[in-house]
Amino acid sequence: MDRGLSGGPTQDEVAAVALWHLGIVPGCTVADVGCGTGKIAVAAARTAGRVIAIDRRPEAAAVARQSVAEAGAANIEVVCGEAAEVLPAAGPLGAAFVGGSRDLEEVLGVLARTVRGRIVVDCVLLETLERAVKEMQRLGIFREAVSLQVARTRPLGTGLMFRPANPVWLVIGEVA
């Protein structure tokens, strides 16, 4: 359910792959940057000790707070603000998911200094993919990029066909 936000929530299959690549260690602190509906934050909270979900849009922060309340996830803090300003006060992070691309280079710079673990950037635009890869390479944290294509069945006449969703790329970085 997109809850009326632009961009919509991360597709379930993409979220599963992203969470696997994050490699969240039990009890660590995880950042969900550009949290939108809070879907990744809620999923990460099942393993993480603490999740900080950040979105610059007040309407997204409100939707994320609603998702957190519905999930009963007491270990998630939703913050409305600019990620590059919020993240330094979050303390050390074990992993970070980036679902928004505004100020991507600045955000990745902050994350490269605060994360000890994986950073996963979700890209739907080719330009974002290129920016994420180049910046992670510049920072010396690039690990790999993964291309994902999800298709779901839908009825067509008396049979079924697959309707593809937009492709998504995950750019994975790792900070030792």
We report the CATH number of the domain holding residue 38 as 3.40.50.150
Residue 104 domain-assigned (yes or no): yes
Give the SS3 label for residue 174: strand
What is the pLDDT at residue 10?
A: 87
Name residue, tokens 């505004």. Answer: 102
Q: Is 79 contained in some domain?
A: yes
Q: Helix or strand or coil: residue 34?
A: coil
Count up the domains in the chain and report the number: 1
Q: Could you tell me if residue 57 is inside a domain? A: no
Q: What is the pLDDT of residue 37?
A: 95
**39 found inside a domain:** yes
Any domain includes 147: no
One-letter amino acid for residue 82 of the chain: E
Residue 119 lies in a domain: no
Whole-angstrom distance, CA of residue 119 vs CA of residue 98: 8
Instruction: Note whether 44 and 32 are within 8 A (CB).
Output: yes
Residue 27 located in a structural domain:
yes
Averages of pLDDT over runs of 10 residues in the chain (176 residues) are: 68 96 98 96 98 97 97 98 96 96 95 98 96 98 97 97 95 97
* Residue 55 is assigned to a structural domain of this protein: no
Domain span at 104: 12-50+64-114+124-139+153-175
Provide the pairing of β-strand 151-156 with 159-164: antiparallel
Q: Are strands 151-156 and 76-80 parallel, antiparallel or unpaired?
A: unpaired
pLDDT of residue 3: 58
